[in-house]
Amino acid sequence: MNRKKWISLVLAAALTLSLAAPAMAAEGPAPWYAEAQAYVTEKDLMTGTENGFDPEAPVTQATVLQTLYNLEGKPAATGEGEWYTDAVNWAGALGLTEAKDFADAVITREEVSALLETYCAAKESDPQGLMVGNENGEQMADKELTRAEFAQILVRLAAKELPVYGAVLPLQILATSDLHGWFVPWDFSEDVPSTRGSLTYLATLIKARREENPNTILVDCGDTVQSNYVEYFIDHEKNPMLTAMNALGYDVWTFGNHEYNFSLSQRQALVDQFQGAALSGNVFMKDSGEPYLPATAVVERGGVKVGFVGMTTPLIVEFEKGKTSLDEVEVRSPLDCIGKAIEDLKAQNVDAIVGLIHEGLEEENSVPGSGTKDLAEAFPDFDIIISGHAHAAVESETVNGVLLCEPNYNARSLSALHLAFAETEEGWKLVNKSAKLLSAGSVEDPEMVELMKPYQEELSAHVNTPIGQLINKDLVTPEEIPGSGAANMGSVPMLNLMSTAGIFYSGADFTIYNPTYENPGCTVGGISIKDISSGYQFTGGEVSVYPITGAQLKTLLEWVAGYYNTWQEGDLTVSFDPVRRESKYSTNFVGGGIVYTVDVTQEVGSRIQGLALIVKDEAGNPTFDKDGALITTPIEDDTPLNMGAHDYYVRQWVAEGGCWEGQTLTATYSTSDEFGDDGTVRNLTIRYIKEYLKGVVNGDKYDYVSWSVSSGIDKTSEAYQKMLQQLSDGTIQVPSSEAGRTNIAPITEADLK
């Protein structure tokens, strides 16, 4: 417990307990603890030690738990094990301690206070007044609690007349979210191992947690069957993600926004494969007005009924705009649907209500009801809300009495929720709830490995499908500063190729892409599907064409340039704004088919220099003069341009808070309209290589610099060379955030060792 909070609790008490017991005269007055000793002895709450009551002896954890267990009437006592075993098991079920890791030891006053706070919360009582300081108001949080002091606490506890519960049933909910195709520890975009996360890892953890508590419910919060190339299986009879989820016994699955990337029939095939309950309660069929998927599911364990409410972010309307995937359905706000879902669960006499909501904690794009904090404020009947979508690792937050958590993404971790249900005359009552975030670890479950093996082999074969040959030059730019990303510092050949393909098929003058793979490219030799995907993360993303002006383009690029920190004298590296760097979605876009420099010695608004349009041939390739320089034409404020970009990003830029807030832009063309699923950036590049280049990619044609970052760094200086050496030998490191986001501050001359 937070020490400041502990002190506030004890200061509120009206009584003062002396920490030093006065010596007893032979016929003097009774000791200060005499009444407390008589009470606990009469009630058989505390038995003595070999020295009798032993008032100044320290209290141990086992004594505290056994005494509270005695107060409860020793429910479900077995008498097996140590003298305190039953008490520890009861306390573990109630959430007072970790029963499996229990080791009896002396307990401090602060630790007792935290334990009593949890105990009183389970009884819906206030713990204030149970513990007090000495006559000087000193709290001595780290001091051991004596037996006499604890006896006095028990007297005060008895005065509260707390309700007595019967048996306590511990129930566990294990939750995942945003698994995004990570059924094995393998990055299929490059066909290489990746140990960051995997369902084969989580299987080990899930099975171990189930062995500890068979009253376990397993749920997932969506975005399950998309990314890491797992969408390859969308039309297969069996999907590896659902095969794994069924084998692990998932009970409930809420659809995420990426489940809606697929057609109605494809989604139905997913639902048919899943052996648990699939939810998405704020989506309705247009023709009948009936729910597309149920809003609720009830899962029973040990006689306790837990009701789940499943909702999907209403922003799927924005994410799927311009596609046919939502043609048959209507999406409503969760705020308009949750109330009825909760009433339906109450009618089924559930003992707890848990939201399984594919939304992050915070509101998204200023849309009401698009964050689970909004939902917790609006619906306090929720006991717990498990979030997703934001790719955040949130162990535990409480809003309006509702416990919130989010289990990260890409199978990297697991939310483990402990719920304690106590038996009362009215039935089961939820008396305690808590959440932990557990790392997936790196131990694969052998059974899951064997089950996933055929899928891994098939997907590896697919991403290695040859599409052409790269000759003469690599499509890679080496990263000079670790963690900075070549694609953040200037043009890279792979993105030049992708931009060329996008311009060729869309007819745009230039493209604006978001290269979240920061070191894209491949080397001379055969080119396969995986080489293209290693250049660009998103499996989706069309090229839509928007007429804009030169002034609008400069405004956009100035906003993009805010991704960089302003260079200061003494900085040896160009670094990134830490807030922009921490964002779930990268906001560092790069232009293709245009020339410009980002001057980070200037403040945002004055950074874009030399903006010009590259003159291209009929294939969308740039043209060069006899000296090898790009042929360009200046872009003035009134220059009319056709920009190629993802429709999703454009809508963000014109929305509230966007760089083009309030402006109206209308697309004149979209590659998804003409090519469907083949109209994505990746697939257009594959098409370009196969159809136009006839399978032969000349790397020399894409090795040019159209944009770059300018700073005051002298790369020939002794300090710069010394920095490179110290980075290489590990003497210094690139500044990173706690979340692992790199290059959030510059390396300076003062940092050199």
Per-residue pLDDT tens digits for 194-239: 998 999 999 999 999 999 999 999 999 999 999 999 999 999 999 9
For tokens 């872009």, the residue is 635
Quick one: tokens of 270? 């997913």
CA 422 to chain centroid, in Å, comes to 32
Q: What is the DSSP string of 71-122?
A: HTT-TT----SSTTHHHHHHHHHHTSS-GGG----B-BHHHHHHHHHHHHHH
Span 37-58, pLDDT tens digits:
888 888 888 877 777 788 888 8
User: Residue 23: pLDDT above 60?
Assistant: no
pLDDT at 319: 87
Compare 131 and 588 and report the one with higher pLDDT: 588
pLDDT at 567: 97
* CA separation for the pair 134, 16 (Å, rounded): 6
* CA separation for the pair 377, 580 (Å, rounded): 28
Q: Which helix (H) or strand (E) holds 58?
A: none
pLDDT at 385: 98
The whole-model pTM stands at: 0.83
Mention every residue, 6+ apart, whose C-beta is less than 8 A from residue 740: none
Mention every residue, 6+ apart, whose C-beta is less than 8 A from residue 683: 675, 677
CA dihedral 256, 516, 324, 644 (to 10 degrees): 160
pLDDT at 380: 97
Q: Does residue 287 contact residue 256 with C-beta atoms inside 8 Å?
A: no
**Across residues 413-422, what is the average pLDDT?**
96
Q: Average pLDDT of the chain?
A: 90
* CA separation for the pair 466, 460 (Å, rounded): 12
* CA separation for the pair 65, 62 (Å, rounded): 5
pLDDT at 43: 84
pLDDT at 12: 37
Q: Is 583 helix (H, G, I), strand (E, B) or coil?
A: coil
CA dihedral 28, 33, 37, 38 (to 10 degrees): 60
* CA separation for the pair 551, 636 (Å, rounded): 7
pLDDT at 677: 81
Q: Which helix (H) or strand (E) holds 709?
A: strand 707-710
Going by DSSP bridges, is the β-strand pair 590-592/510-513 parallel, antiparallel, or unpaired? antiparallel
Partners of residue 163 on adjacent β-strands: none
pLDDT at 538: 78
For tokens 């039953």, the residue is 86
Residue 270: C-alpha distances to residues 286, 308, 320, 688, 749 (Å): 21, 20, 19, 32, 56
Mention every residue, 6+ apart, whose C-beta is less than 8 A from residue 500: 592, 593, 619, 620, 621, 688, 702
User: Residue 575: pLDDT above 80?
Assistant: yes
Nearest to 94 by CA among 73, 62, 69, 70: 69
Q: Which strands form 707-710's sheet, in the order they lie side by side?
A: 632-634, 608-614, 594-599, 707-710
For tokens 């034409």, the residue is 633
- CB-based burial, 667-699: b 16+ in 10 Å, e otherwise: bebbbbeebeeebbbbbbbbbbbeeebeeebeb
* CA separation for the pair 650, 406 (Å, rounded): 29
List the Cα angle 240/262/298 in 5-degree steps. 65
Q: Which of 49-58, 354-363, 704-713 has the lowest mean pLDDT?
A: 49-58
Going by DSSP bridges, is the β-strand pair 192-193/186-187 parallel, antiparallel, or unpaired? antiparallel
Partners of residue 176 on adjacent β-strands: 220
Q: Is 589 helix (H, G, I), strand (E, B) or coil?
A: coil
* CA separation for the pair 6, 9 (Å, rounded): 5
Quick one: tokens of 35? 């009444």
Partners of residue 414 on adjacent β-strands: 438
Q: Which of 113-117, 520-524, 706-710 has the lowest mean pLDDT?
A: 113-117
User: Residue 69: pLDDT above 60?
Assistant: yes
Span 239-295, pLDDT tens digits:
999 999 999 999 999 999 999 999 999 999 999 999 999 999 999 999 999 999 999
* Domains, the chain: 3-159 (no CATH), 168-459 (3.60.21.10), 465-749 (3.90.780.10)
User: Residue 10: pLDDT above 50?
Assistant: no
**Across residues 377-403, what is the average pLDDT?**
96
Q: Is 379 helix (H, G, I), strand (E, B) or coil?
A: coil
Amino acid at 119: Y
* CA separation for the pair 521, 533 (Å, rounded): 9
User: Residue 297: pLDDT above 80?
Assistant: yes
* CA separation for the pair 372, 369 (Å, rounded): 7
User: How crowded is residue 627: how many other Cβ atoms within 10 Å of its Cβ?
Assistant: 5
Span 549-566, pLDDT tens digits:
999 999 999 999 999 999
* CA separation for the pair 266, 202 (Å, rounded): 27
Compare 421 and 26 and report the one with higher pLDDT: 421
Amino acid at 91: A
